[in-house]
Structure 1
Amino acid sequence: MMNSSKHSSRKFFILLTLILAGEVIFFLPFVIPRIFRPTLLQVYNITNFELGTYFSLHGVVAMFAYFFGGPLADRFSARLLIALALWLTSFGGFLLVFFPYRIALTCVYAYWGLTTILMLWAAMIKATREWGGSDAQGKAFGYLEGGRGFSAAMVGTIALLVFGNIFSSVAIGDKQTQRVDSYQVVLIVTSFVTFFVGILVWSVLPEGNRENKIQSRLTWKTIFKLIKLPSIWLQAIIIVCAYVGYKITDDYSLYANQVLGYDEIKSAAFGSFALWLRPIFALLSGFLADKFKSSQVIVCYFLTIATCSLLVYAGQINQSNFAIIFVLGINLMGIYGIRGIYFSIMNITGIPINDTGSAVGLMSFIGFTPEIFMSPLMGYILDSHPGIEGHQIVFLVLSLFACFGLVASVALHRLALRFELKI
């Protein structure tokens, strides 16, 4: 009984550590810019399009990192890979504190494309799939995404309070200088948090075993075998369409600023509020995925995203801020819900657990391509169509991708039913 209790506690702390690592590593490149987007644009004196190109640069490097990170995860322990990824990522944050220039921003985003993905992504997904076993894949990935969302919301809220207290305590004439100083404080705190989570990973995660190295010799042959599976391609399309939705959440704080008329602090609070919905919807999706089928739940979510995005585009809800916020919130349910479970589909389509690293690398190589094109596209739309029109066009783009995702998820659901009949 005592051993069982210790095992459960150990398992809980392993998942908790994976959750922290899986989100903390993205604080510097994505979460902080998402919350403080209007401020970041002013600190570096850049446009939405220019910020989008930095995200795109991260995505270009990350594409190759996803592909090569899969076999790497099947060869080395998650403990080593994830700890190194966190330590190296934190270094990029400290670099921006000392060199707050555009050229540094360019170099660091390319660097982060490598450190955040190559050693972490596939290793984290594989470890989570192993944690979930055969009967709790939905919960495992729901806990992972929900926990990551909770971590992002906590740190985002703390960063907002720190920034707001410093920024609002100075005279009008000093605002730009204080804006830069406040943002640097946020970077320093976030970089230290990232580094210390790396230490936690090294202390908690198991060391791994030699069997992974033997298995890795077969990985490249496995990749060619996986390429032939229709489920890989359908799941990759689902990830593409879902990730477009996730990238568009970067627009939420700017939407609040430019459309709802909120100031910098209130618009950052709006972005932080959106982050708090992420753990709620991801956890809910995990339970729904185990009760029904992951593919079924994803079909419903894509339908929700398509409908809500069209409402925002059509402008029928513009007369009421409450109506806009409600529809945007329901939209987030679909976006965060799909993110919580799209990797759990691997179990219902028959991808062997030993091939998880390679499968995740391959799906991510295709699925996360919005990292390359979505931010520049969104930046171009917002800069060339100022005000509410630009934001409406952004949501039209989201509705189109949601329709593609709906078709792919219906096809994958039918494929999963056929696989179930075979076994």
Structure 2
Amino acid sequence: MNPSSSKITTSKILELSLLILAGESIFFLPFVIARVFRPTFLSVFEITNLELGSLYSIYGIIAMVSYFFGGPLADRISPRILLAIALVSTAVGGFIMAFADSISYLSYLYGFWGLTTILLFWAALIKATRSIGGHRFQSRAFGFLEGGRGFIAAFVSTLAVGVFAYYLPDGQDSPTLYDQQMAFRNVIFFFSGWVAIVGLLIFFFMNKSGTNTAYKNKPVSLGQIREIANTPNIWFQAIIVVCAYVGYKVTDDFSLLAKEVLDFSDVASAQVGTLALWMRVVTAIIAGVVADKIGAASKVISWGFLLMVLCGLGIGSGLLIGSSAVFYIVTILVTCLGVYSVRGLYFTLIQEANISSSITGTTVGLISVIGFTPDIFMGPLMGYLLDENPGALGHQYVFLVLAGFGLIGWLANYLYRRTKPLVQTDA
């Protein structure tokens, strides 16, 4: 074992901090902005939930190909270069988005973001995080990555809500579409500028952080790829990621539920979406600490899936219809406990499966090709359910989907725990 893996040094803390900053900022434009401002996003661009879902599908299709090729790329090239280029190019797309006036422009942008955020970015982020965690702190490294990303998302989104409210005219309960468009354009500028600055920080400071993971490995062979593919735990992990990511996509519905079911204003609805992001901070960090203490992230993942099932059934069954907003908000927050505990830990299962560190990027790529397929189907599915079933009923159906995938995820995790790893790690 590498001695450095037995402790967290100052240089590793700095490295992880930079990864946290980059790891969430890259997704502000394609995902967070629509999650927090979903009602406004639909109104400003004059699109339906289904059309928004189609944008996510375009992103997801490009991302599927990018996951496969991005994994080996991350095993060959320094993350500083990959992450910096990804962030700056994503930000350029954001500045273009501010002037988009049709869904056609948005379609091209989401396809472009599928390349910049995945091909250049995703596997490099996960590989670098695994290196920092080593053997003793694997769950904590990923828990802090997810929790820290949640903090960045919540903090920056809170600022963005303030920007949005500032640019809306005072004294208007129902601002005009033009007023919304102008205020929202400033929100897009804000997010784009933030992402570009983070890209520059990565480029100029990440190489000074001191983590020296080998990124100049020999090209991954077909034999190694077959070895990974023949590991049953990898396939169970891919299913776990699918189900967890469905839960994460359902969080996109929180602000719209607040608007349509609880009759909140645009600003208040955005605040509900932001509150869910703050839950991500605490949940993922606690999940990581607990998983390292008990020595098995898969146990914590089981608990997370059970919470997803219970909360999905709670709202999906219609039991909360007629209840006060407090019951809905509490259920949303408990849903966050389940979703973010699983999301914060699912890549630690690579370590439990004893996959060699030298092929982490390729392993992440293979898992992600399957694991993040919800990028393709969840957007259109949620859009169809919400558009075809106006009001509370559409949101109930969305939460029933959450419950169903939560159960599948729990079963996959159960099978994962019962299957012994087949390969040895050199980490």
Secondary structure of 1:205's counterpart equals: helix
The structure-2 alpha-carbon separation of the partners of 1:169 and 1:144, relative to structure 1 and needing over 3 Å to count, comes to same
Equivalent position of 1:254 in the other structure = 256
Bigger helix share: 1
1:278-321 Cα deviation digits (max 9, x unpaired): 01100011011101211111111111110111011112223232
Deviation at 1:206, TM superposition (A): 2.6
Deviation at 1:218, TM superposition (A): 2.8
Equivalent position of 1:310 in the other structure = 313
The structure-2 alpha-carbon separation of the partners of 1:210 and 1:279, relative to structure 1 and needing over 3 Å to count, comes to closer
List alignment gaps of at least 5 residues for structure 1: 1-6
Deviation at 1:211, TM superposition (A): 5.5
Q: Is the Cα contact below 8 Å between 1:35 and 1:272 reproduced in 2?
A: yes
List alignment gaps of at least 5 residues for structure 2: 1-7
Deviation at 1:417, TM superposition (A): 8.6
Q: In the aligned structure 2, how far is the partner of 1:283 from the partner of 1:255? A: 27
Q: In the aligned structure 2, how far is the partner of 1:320 from the partner of 1:172? A: 23
Q: In the aligned structure 2, how far is the partner of 1:31 from the partner of 1:216? A: 36
Deviation at 1:97, TM superposition (A): 1.8
Q: Is the Cα contact below 8 Å between 2:313 and 2:403 reproduced in 1?
A: yes
Alignment of 1:95-174 (within 5 A): 95-169=96-170
Among 405, 412, 416, the residue aligned to 1:408? 412
Q: In the aligned structure 2, how far is the partner of 1:282 from the partner of 1:156? A: 18
Among 355, 373, 377, the residue aligned to 1:373? 377
The structure-2 alpha-carbon separation of the partners of 1:140 and 1:173, relative to structure 1 and needing over 3 Å to count, comes to closer
1:35-69 Cα deviation digits (max 9, x unpaired): 11000111111100000000111000001111100
Equivalent position of 1:351 in the other structure = 355
Q: In the aligned structure 2, how far is the partner of 1:232 from the partner of 1:78? A: 24
For 1:369, the aligned partner's letter is T
Deviation at 1:380, TM superposition (A): 0.2
Q: Is the Cα contact below 8 Å between 2:72 and 2:220 reproduced in 1?
A: no
Deviation at 1:8, TM superposition (A): 2.9
- % same residue: 45
Count residues in correspondence.
413
Q: In the aligned structure 2, how far is the partner of 1:418 from the partner of 1:67? A: 22
For 1:261, the aligned partner's letter is D
Q: In the aligned structure 1, how far is the partner of 2:171 from the partner of 2:319? A: 40
Q: In the aligned structure 2, how far is the partner of 1:97 from the partner of 1:330? A: 34
Equivalent position of 2:5 in the other structure = none
Q: Is the Cα contact below 8 Å between 2:140 and 2:289 reproduced in 1?
A: yes
TM-score, structure 1 as length reference: 0.94
Alpha-carbon RMSD: 1.9
Q: Is the Cα contact below 8 Å between 2:72 and 2:219 reproduced in 1?
A: no
1:17-36 Cα deviation digits (max 9, x unpaired): 00010000000010011011
The structure-2 alpha-carbon separation of the partners of 1:103 and 1:197, relative to structure 1 and needing over 3 Å to count, comes to same
Equivalent position of 2:239 in the other structure = 237
Question: Which 4+ stretches in 1 moved above 3 angstroms?
Answer: 170-174, 207-213, 416-420
Q: Is the Cα contact below 8 Å between 2:20 and 2:145 reproduced in 1?
A: yes
Could you tell which deviates more after superposition, 346-355 or 40-49? 346-355
Equivalent position of 2:9 in the other structure = 8
Deviation at 1:210, TM superposition (A): 11
Q: In the aligned structure 1, how far is the partner of 2:161 from the partner of 2:212? A: 42
Q: In the aligned structure 2, how far is the partner of 1:295 from the partner of 1:103? A: 42
Q: In the aligned structure 2, how far is the partner of 1:14 from the partner of 1:125? A: 13
Q: In the aligned structure 2, how far is the partner of 1:295 from the partner of 1:97? A: 42
Deviation at 1:170, TM superposition (A): 6.5
Deviation at 1:173, TM superposition (A): 8.6
Deviation at 1:172, TM superposition (A): 7.0
Alignment of 1:19-418 (within 5 A): 19-169=20-170, 175-206=176-207, 212-213=215-216, 215-292=217-294, 293-318=296-321, 319-415=323-419
